[in-house]
Amino acid sequence: MYDTIIVGGGSAGSVMAHRLSARSANKVLLCEAGQDTPPGNEPPEIRDSYSGLAYFDPRFHWTELKVTTQIVSHNNPDESRPPLRKYEQARVLGGGSSINGQMANRGAPTDYEEWEARGAVGWNWKDVLPYFKKVERDLDFDGPFHGKDGRIPVRRIPHQHWTAHSQEAGIPTRPPGRGGAGNDRPARRPSWPRPPAPRGCRRRDRGGPWS
C-alpha cells in the first residue's frame, strides 16, 4: 500500500520521489518505463559527462515518438500533412536529465515578467529567482543572483578550455551576476539541445536521479 504513486521517474518525478520519501513514514512508489540506473551501477553512457553518448543511444529513448514542427492551419484529414520528425524524449530513470546536455539555463527575467502579465501570478522574476538560487550550488560565482547551497553543482567551462576557434574569434564572457539566461556564457547563443554542449556554457554536473 502506497501513499503516493509517481508515474515517470524523469527529472520531475525523481525530485518528487526524493522529497516525498524524505519523510520515512511516507510510502512512495516511483514507476519508470525505462532502464534503472541504480547508484554505483549506472550505465557508463549515463555516467559519462559527454552527453552525446546517452543522447544518441536508443536504449534511453522513446524511439517511436514523432512530431510535426510545422504549423498546420487546418484539421482536414484529406489535406497533406507536413513531414514527421523524430521527437527526442528520454526513457530511462532520470528522464531528460539523464541524457540531456547538462546546460543550466535560466529564462530571461523579461520572460517571467511576461508570464505574470499574462496571468501567471507569482511567476515574475523576483519571485522565481529564490528557487533558481535554491536549486544550484554555483562553484564559480557568489552574489545576489547565484545560489551556493543547492543540490545541483553549476560551473562554467574555463576560458582556457574553450576551443581554439572561440578563443581566436574573441567571444567574450559576460560579467557575472545578471541573473537571467546566459550568465557568464559566451555572448553568442549556443544551439540547443544538441550535444555536445558548446564550450564556455554553464554546465550542471549530472547527479544521480534521486539527488
Closer to ligand FAD by CB, 33 or 117: give it: 33
By C-beta, is 67 or 117 nearer to ligand FAD?
67
Cβ 79 to ligand FAD shortest distance, Å? 30
Q: Which CB, 13 or 171, lies closer to ligand FAD?
A: 13
Residue with grid cell 545578471, as numbered in its chain: 178
- Closest residue to ligand FAD, Cβ-based? 10
The answer to whether the CB of 46 falls within 8 A of the CB of 60 is yes
- Footprint of ligand FAD on this chain (CB under 6 A)? 7-13, 31-34, 55, 88-92, 95-97, 99-103, 105, 193
- As measured in angstroms, the least distance from the Cβ of 209 to ligand FAD is 9
Residue number with CB closer to ligand FAD (92 or 171): 92
Residue 87: CB minimum distance to ligand FAD, A: 9
